[in-house]
Structure formats: C-alpha cells, structure tokens
Amino acid sequence: MTSVLAVGPSPLPITGQSKAFNFFVRNSGLNTKVLFSTGKTSFYPIFYIFKLFWFFLFFKFDVVYFTSSRSRFGFARDLLVLFLFGYVKRIKVVNHLHGADFKFFRSKSNIYFKRIIDWSYDYVSTSIVLNSAMKKEYSCYPKMEVVVVPNFSERFLERSDVTSKRINKSSKLDVLFLSNLIESKGLFELVEAAISFNNFNERIFLHIAGSSLGNEEIENKLIEICKLHQFIKYYGPLSGDSKFKLLKECHVLALPTYYPTEAQPICVIEGMAFGCVILSTNHNYMPELVDDTNGVIVNIKSSKSICTAFTSIFDCADEYNDIMLGNLAQAKEQFLPSSYIDN
C-alpha cells in the first residue's frame, strides 16, 4: 500500500481547504501519516518543525502531499517540506492548490525570494488545481505536471426533495449564506439587499451560517443586525446534519464574493448538490464553476444588483425551479466525493 505523508490545515477552523484536506485524509484508503500545518497555540510552529523532522528521520514515504500556502510564513513551512522530502530524499511531492493567488504571490515577491520559490517548486512533481483555468497558476514551471481535480459535495439531495421545495412567486424565498464571516465574501451587501428588498415586501428570509474566525467585531455587527430584522437569522458555524438540513430547506445559496483568493468554494457546490439556485459573481475563477445557467450572476459590491436578482427569481420562478433540478444533476455528474478521492 502506498505510504503518504499528508501536510495540510487542521479540521478547525472550517475552510474549503481544511475540509477538502481532511476529507482526503479520512477517506483515501492509503497508509497516511498526517502533519497539520496549522495549530491553536503560538508554540505550534515549533511542534510542526519537530514533527516534520521526526517523520523525515524515522519514516519512509512513497509520496508527500501538501496543500500549498501563498503567504511568506506559510511558504516557509512548505519550503521545509520541499527541502527535506523533495531535495534531500527525492520523494515524489504532490501539491494541492485551493486558492487563486499563487501566481500573484510569486510575482509580487522580490527577485531573491522568487528564486527560492522557483527552486523549491522544482521539486514538486505534480500540482493539483480545481479547474482548467487554474493551470496558469503554475505556467512558469513547464516540467511540473498539473492536473485538475474539482472539489466535491459529501451529500446530495434527492430529486423529489428538490421538486418539493419549489420557488413560489407568492411565498417567501429562503436564502442561505454558508461561508465564514468575511466581508469580501459579500456578506453585508447580501444583508443590505435583503433589508432593502423587504422594505417593500417582506419575502426574503436570510439564513447566515459560518464562523467569524475570531473576528468579534464582524460577528457582533451581524448579531445587532439580526436583533433589528427578524427575517435575518445567524446560526454560527454549522457542519454535518445541521448544515445539510439547512441546505435542504433553502431555495438560494448566495455567495456574492469578491474574496481575493476565491477559486472553487465548496459551499457553492453543496448548494448545487442540494438543488439551490446559485447567486454569485464573476470574480476570479467563479465563472469556471457557475454561470447564469446555474442561477444569477450579480455585480461585486452591489446590494442593488442582488435586489435585482431577487426580483428576477420571483418573476421567473418556473425557470429557476428548472435550474434547481439542473444544478442537482450537474453536481451529481461533476462533484462526487468518490471522484475526488479517486483522482
């Protein structure tokens, strides 16, 4: 059996990258040792270095798999992995990119740091990206194999359940924001749009589920908004059955993102897998995942554009009910967890 050292983020806090990495670790079926690249305490980097050298000295691996960072501190962790296992031991190294900014990270580095990046990535045999357009992130490494492995949804709604939650022109529309509470995910533009739309006809119910990632200011702001508007509900971070129950109840998965590193958010794939209409933007690699056949594409940083989208969904309810079924079918075809693990 193939022996793998997997280096990547810990399960908490939940991000797309941490979820994908830990899903692989739990389900790969390989002989895998895990080294988390992130920890809760300020002493964790010391523990990380100690454990990395422990694996280097006392274990034999066929492959090292890591999820790459695009910050200087994160790259220092990656550099140590590439030096020890790629350069010294000449073991096959596989890198998995979950963000949209490796090329930018490299290009903004000074010439000396860029040389270190390029030297280290010469020891990456294969890089995994989330869609074909992302291959350009590694275009400066012609010897590197770059393969596409899309993200996944762990569960899928039955077609009959999607049909039963049809959008009705005269009923409320349940809209779900399912992401960490980051302003550039379009959170407050979405909140503003829901408030503005409901000033005329209270038909939008906005569900918000995600972690504040320790940002008390943004969480407190959201809590105060919820106190003022009963049609907005904040759940905190959700996972497992509670998350999937909420997905099952909602008509729209909204992520009007302009997050700098956005690539292929798992929450959007989960929305498709649960037959939701997708409300998102054309930011970064989002057009590789969704377009107007999956829902509504809105302008970034525009609550007005989101309001217009809500109106469109109500006015063309039958069309969007068909889109809900189409999204489920597309998710089952392209984003199966078994395909993610096999590839």
Q: What is the DSSP string of 74-135?
A: HHHHHHHHIIIIIIIS--EEEEE--SS-HHHHHHTS-HHHHHHHHHHHTT--EEEESSGGGG
Residue 201, pLDDT score: 85
Residue 1, pLDDT score: 83
The mean pLDDT of the chain is: 96
Residue 36, pLDDT score: 96
Residue 55, pLDDT score: 98
Residue 64, pLDDT score: 98
Phi-psi sector, 340: left (phi>0), alpha (psi -120 to 50), beta: alpha
Residue 65, pLDDT score: 98
Residues of the chain with pLDDT under 70: none
Residue 50, pLDDT score: 97
Residue 255, pLDDT score: 98
Residue 200, pLDDT score: 86
Give the whole-angstrom CA distance, residue 217 versus residue 213.
11
Q: How many CA atoms lie within 13 A of 6 on its CB side?
A: 22
For the chain, how big is the Rg over CA atoms in Å? 21
Give the whole-angstrom CA distance, residue 60 versus residue 1.
12
Give the whole-angstrom CA distance, residue 286 versus residue 37.
27
Residue 211's contacts (CB-CB under 8 Å, 6 or more residues apart) are 13, 14, 180, 181, 236, 237
Give the whole-angstrom CA distance, residue 26 versus residue 5.
13
